[in-house]
Copies of this chain bind each other. A is one copy, B any other.
């Protein structure tokens, strides 16, 4: 059965070179090599709209680079990732160039870039429309991380207006930077160092209000808005409030916000679950599941940004022993724990078993949330996210019946832990193709560094 063709149909795909050239019934093409997928689902490769690779943070760097991370993505059935370019250089162009330098020769699946806008001046304003020439059709702004990543509301309004004019989509990290700043200073002053204080100092209501703030700014700017990593029921309430008033607001959540709660931060190994925004409560988990089903939320990303839990101990990766400073950096101070979780490879298998398998999502919704919608929103469609004539032959043959005890052994992230260690899965990628070439066959890896291609995206304004 083919999914990602607008529905689930029984048909053949004809691939020529990198492309799907036709879909048809009982096509009889002389000399074609035949791959039999009876009993399996054939889907467009997953698209992770929210990843970070090789990202410097605090005094270290996240433990996956564009080779290891994209390889892990591929094993999990994801063939395109959209990575965030930090605005680390004087110009956007230099920042982008630097990111290409990291990614281009290493990438093992296709990738594209979002641009973070974390500092605004006239030069940057003049550069934004030119992002399109770089194939970048989306920018992210932050209402949090005072003095580091945050833009002021007026600056965000200006970015949104400019983006709206050029059909570039604005994405937003919605937390209240001021609240976090005040609470963090207080917590440290009071001598609190444990991971749970990460959650206490980034309270849920700060996310709720800043979602609405983003919506209000977008309304004023006549812009579409994509809220990244929605983690609270209240944030979703406000997204729905905007949608019900006719505003083009979209929301993404991530698997970690569907399965885990603040209580994990209270474990001895709580640092493993440190991410921003933080995990919340069970009722938030439940509300976000509802949002995936009823259309309040449009996509599932990962915010993949892994660190070692214990960066003092090396692990083996492709024959090398690797150790990268990680979560232990914050063992005496929760503010020094690198923020982020592994996830790019876990996304599809986990969501299949716990979404489709548990009857919460249909196979079509699964593909829509993890591939087709990201493609449409971010200007990759129908090149990616679809099995249509003209689409790239990024294809996953998914075995819906394969049982697996998941964990570090199967996830190929370069880190020393997995959030879903020991979870029992049913359903897993069997074969993964990137533009017509097989890169994963069961447990075997046929990909190679540099075969992933940078994808120029079209500005769409992001409305689906």
Complex interface: stretch among A163-171, A213-221, A420-428, A437-445:
A213-221
Q: Is the CB of A388 within 8 A of B6?
A: yes
Q: Which of B182, B220, B293 contacts A154 (CB 8 A)?
A: B182
Q: Is the CB of A290 within 8 A of B244?
A: yes
A296 — which chain B residues lie within 8 A by C-beta?
244
Instruction: Tell whether A237 is near chain B: CB-to-CB under 8 Å.
Output: yes
A154 — which chain B residues lie within 8 A by C-beta?
146, 178-179, 181-182
Q: Is the CB of B388 within 8 A of A5?
A: yes
Q: Is the CB of B389 within 8 A of A25?
A: yes
A388 — which chain B residues lie within 8 A by C-beta?
5-7, 9, 11, 23
Q: In the complex, A389 Cα to B390 Cα: how many Å?
A: 14
A117 — which chain B residues lie within 8 A by C-beta?
none
Count this chain's copies in the assembly.
Answer: 4
Interface flags for A1-23 (1: CB within 8 Å of B; 0: not) read 00011111111101000010111
A177 — which chain B residues lie within 8 A by C-beta?
153
Instruction: Tell whether A157 is near chain B: CB-to-CB under 8 Å.
Output: yes
Instruction: Tell whether A113 is near chain B: CB-to-CB under 8 Å.
Output: no
Interface flags for A280-297 (1: CB within 8 Å of B; 0: not) read 000000000110011110
Q: Is the CB of A294 within 8 A of B244?
A: yes
Residue of B at shortest CB range from A203? B220
Q: How large is the interface on A (under 10, 10 to 19, 20 to 34, 35 or more residues)?
A: 35 or more
A216 — which chain B residues lie within 8 A by C-beta?
176, 179, 205-206, 208-209
Q: Which of B7, B27, B241 contacts A376 (CB 8 A)?
A: B7
Q: Is the CB of A6 within 8 A of B372?
A: yes
Given A182-B157, A463-B362, verify A290-B6 contact (CB < 8 Å).
no
Q: In the complex, A290 Cα to B237 Cα: how many Å?
A: 17
Given A179-B157, A209-B215, A389-B23, verify A294-B246 contact (CB < 8 Å).
yes
Q: Is the CB of A390 within 8 A of B178?
A: no
Q: In the complex, A28 Cα to B11 Cα: how many Å?
A: 20
Instruction: Tell whether A312 is near chain B: CB-to-CB under 8 Å.
Output: no
Residue of B at shortest CB range from A249? B294
Instruction: Tell whether A331 is near chain B: CB-to-CB under 8 Å.
Output: no
A217 — which chain B residues lie within 8 A by C-beta?
176, 179, 209
Q: In the complex, A245 Cα to B208 Cα: how many Å?
A: 13
Identify the 7 closest CB pairs spanning chains A and B, nearest first.
A6-B6, A22-B24, A154-B178, A153-B178, A209-B216, A205-B216, A295-B295
